[in-house]
Amino acid sequence: MVHFVQIDKYLLGNNSHCSRMFVCLADADERTDDAGAMTTAFSALIPNIRSQGRTQVSFGIGHYSGANAVTAGMFHYLGTEPLVPY
């Protein structure tokens, strides 16, 4: 036979477990937002093939679901073909 106290203990234990799970899911959601913003910002770091100089500087700004990111990069052509990213 199951008593009310046993049922209450069981429900309280499950509530605590669910609360921890929701905290973990919220943390994962925040990290996903940060990764999305960083990916968006990094996608802007591409060299311009029409540029006249041998050295280029590029900046990227990303926003995803409330998270923001900023990136900066520099590219330098060693000769006619090779490109070195920094």
Which pTM does this prediction carry? 0.56
Q: What CATH number is associated with residue 10?
A: 3.30.1300
How many domains does the chain fold into? 1
Q: Which domain holds residue 68?
A: 4-85
First to last CA, the chain: 71
Tokens 């899911």 correspond to: 25
CA 22 to chain centre: 20
Q: What is the pLDDT of residues 31-83, one digit of tens each?
A: 888 888 888 888 888 888 787 888 889 999 998 888 899 999 988 888 777 77
Asked if 30 and 22 count as a contact pair (C-beta separation under 8 A), the reply is no
